[in-house]
A and B are shown apart, each in its own frame.
Chain A
Amino acid sequence: LAKTTQPISMDSYEGQEVNITCSHNNIATNDYITWYQQFPSQGPRFIIQGYKTKVTNEVASLFIPADRKSSTLSLPRVSLSDTAVYYCPPGGYNKLIFGAGTRLAVHP
Chain B
Amino acid sequence: DVKVTQSSRYLVKRTGEKVFLECVQDMDHENMFWYRQDPGLGLRLIYFSYDVKMKEKGDIPEGYSVSREKKERFSLILESASTNQTSMYLCASSTPVGLADTDTQYFGPGTRLTVL
Contact = CB atoms under 8 A, between A and B. Distances in A.
A91 B91 CA distance: 17
Q: How big is chain A's contact interface, by range?
A: 20 to 34
Interface string A27-48: 0101111101000011111100
B42 A101 contact: yes
Interface stretch (B14-22, B60-68, B77-85, B107-115): B107-115
Nearest to B105: A96
A39 to B, nearest CB: 11
A32 B108 CA distance: 22
Q: How big is chain B's contact interface, by range?
A: 20 to 34
Contacts of A34: 102, 104
A93 B110 contact: no
A100 B40 CA distance: 6
B86 to A, nearest CB: 15
A95 B110 contact: no
Interface of B: 4, 31, 33, 35, 40-45, 48, 50, 58-59, 90-92, 94, 96-97, 99-110, 112
Interface of A: 28, 30-34, 36, 41-46, 49, 51, 87, 91-101
